[in-house]
Amino acid sequence: MSGGVPVRDPRLEPIAAKVETGERLTREDGLALYETFDLLGLGGLADLVNRRVNGDRVFFSANQHINPTNVCILRKVCVFCSYARTPKEDGAYTRSLEEVFAEAEAARNSPTTEFHIVGGLHPKLPLSYYTDMMRGLKERHPDVHIKALTAVEIAHLARIERTTIQEVLHELKDAGLTSLPGGGAEVFGEGVRATIADRKLIADDWIAVHRAAHALGIPSNCTLLYGHVETAADRIDHLTLLRELQDETGGFLTYIPLAYHPDNNELGKELDREGTATTGFEDLKNIAVGRLYLDNVPHVKTHWPMVTPGVSQVALSFGCDDVEGTVVYERVYHDAGAHTPMMLSYGELVRLIKGAEKDPVERNSLYETVRTFEPDDPIFDPEQGSVPGAPADADLVQLVGTGRA
């Protein structure tokens, strides 16, 4: 037992004692967490730590994902990716700025507070495409934050513009960028990277982009792509690098474990894994280990488009304090076989969190509170499918149809 948390795995007992006193976990402890059979013991410890900071609060955002292009020079490099295309390949698309602005109109009459913008590394799109996009979005939606471009996209823009990472980040910030998403990290270990993303931005360079962003006052997220060829040791070494950078800068807001989806990509075929994504056991374990090992990252987010809304709801009792937002239209995981909905309405998110006996808090990109809900608020009307001030489900379903090229 620890702080009332029963643990059945003897390897978790010394860890439980550390969790109780707030002592930092070692690499060996992290390995034991990933290797344990005792999911409830692990989850209970992560829940204890989460409750100390967040109590019953669970954050969510009203956000909209925008993927401006799927043309990517790393199309043959990231063998886990089903989304990217070569410029002439079937299904390749690149949005004009007007098309991006038209897609973003979904935010006009809704409580959207964040545009989440990621895409491929297009060989020709210049930095000005992105700065013009951000200025145009800010002009049209001044209150909406922009979380955009993974470290890999930032490094690519610096390369094609023959300038520095700092200069690219500076220009993007000037154009309205609020924060960076956590993608592109995958698994830092050289062996795994050589297998799943050979020649993609190496660990040191991913870390360097985030360090530079933090120095410029741009906070960011961090991720781990799990559920393919990586070992427990690979995962912990990856989290250790994230924890070290966070000790140095404090610039990470959120950790998001990303569940690998094996459909329609080379890696899935090679591993004979098509049709079999990660299990709920692995999904919950990755959330809980993230909470316990990354003791300096304030938030752990569950990405419901990858793990299903049901698993995300259970994750809220396994150390998770943040749920991916409304999304509106998601391409990267659905191209890789995710069978989850394209969007959850504002009301459905509130209901999901309330259904886990938690208190929903709508946040913006910087985790500032946008809206809280009193226990007896008429927060969700199943007849209407929405909360007061939020877009009706029917409106969002129409917006979803605006997505694909």
> 339: exposed, middle or buried (C-beta count within 10 Å: 0-12, 13-18, 19+)?
exposed
Using the contact rule CB under 6 A, the part of the chain among 20-28, 77-85, 167-175, 233-241 near ligand SF4 is 77-85
N-to-C CA span, the chain = 55
> What residues numbered 120-139 form the site for ligand SF4, per CB under 6 A?
120-121
Considering the rule CB under 6 A, would residue 69 count as an interface residue with ligand V47? no
Which residue's CB is nearer to ligand V47, number 7 or number 74? 74
Closest residue to bound ligand V47 by CB: 183
Nearest-approach distance from CB 258 to ligand V47, in angstroms: 5
Considering the rule CB under 6 A, would residue 258 count as an interface residue with ligand V47? yes
Which residue's CB is nearer to ligand SF4, number 151 or number 350? 151
H-only helix segments in 161-318? 165-175, 190-196, 203-215, 232-249, 266-270, 280-293, 304-307, 309-315
> 375: exposed, middle or buried (C-beta count within 10 Å: 0-12, 13-18, 19+)?
exposed
Considering the rule CB under 6 A, would residue 117 count as an interface residue with ligand V47? no
Considering the rule CB under 6 A, would residue 188 count as an interface residue with ligand V47? no
Question: Residue 128's Cα: distance from chain center in Å?
Answer: 26
Query: Site for ligand V47 (CB under 6 A): which residue of 183, 319, 385, 391?
Result: 183
Nearest-approach distance from CB 74 to ligand SF4, in angstroms: 4
Q: What are phi and psi of 11, to 5 degrees?
A: -65, -20
Considering the rule CB under 6 A, would residue 82 count as an interface residue with ligand V47? yes
How far CA 195 is from CA of 78, 231, 330, in Å, comes to 9, 13, 26
Q: Which does 74 bind (CB under 5 to 8 A by kind): ligand SF4, ligand V47, none?
A: ligand SF4
Considering the rule CB under 6 A, would residue 261 count as an interface residue with ligand V47? yes
Query: Site for ligand V47 (CB under 6 A): which residue of 41, 181, 219, 251?
Result: 181
Query: Which is it for strands 322-323 and 299-302: parallel, antiparallel or unpaired?
Result: parallel
Interior CA angle at 363 toward 358 and 366, to 5°?
Answer: 130
Q: Taking CB under 6 A as the rule, which mask of x and - marks residues 83-102 in contact with ligand SF4?
A: xx------------------
Query: Site for ligand V47 (CB under 6 A): which residue of 332, 343, 353, 396?
Result: 332
Considering the rule CB under 6 A, would residue 273 count as an interface residue with ligand V47? no
Considering the rule CB under 6 A, would residue 5 count as an interface residue with ligand SF4? no
Which residue's CB is nearer to ligand SF4, number 120 or number 309? 120
Considering the rule CB under 6 A, would residue 74 count as an interface residue with ligand SF4? yes
* Residue at token pair 């951000």: 134
User: Rounded CA gap, 86 and 76, in Å?
Assistant: 9
Amino acid at the residue 8: R
Amino acid at the residue 209: V
User: Rounded CA gap, 365 and 319, in Å?
Assistant: 20
Query: Site for ligand SF4 (CB under 6 A): which residue of 57, 65, 75, 291?
Result: 75
Nearest-approach distance from CB 292 to ligand SF4, in angstroms: 28
Query: Site for ligand V47 (CB under 6 A): which residue of 115, 129, 206, 260?
Result: 260
Q: Of the candidates 338, 268, 332, which has an alpha carbon nearest to the alpha carbon of residue 309?
A: 338
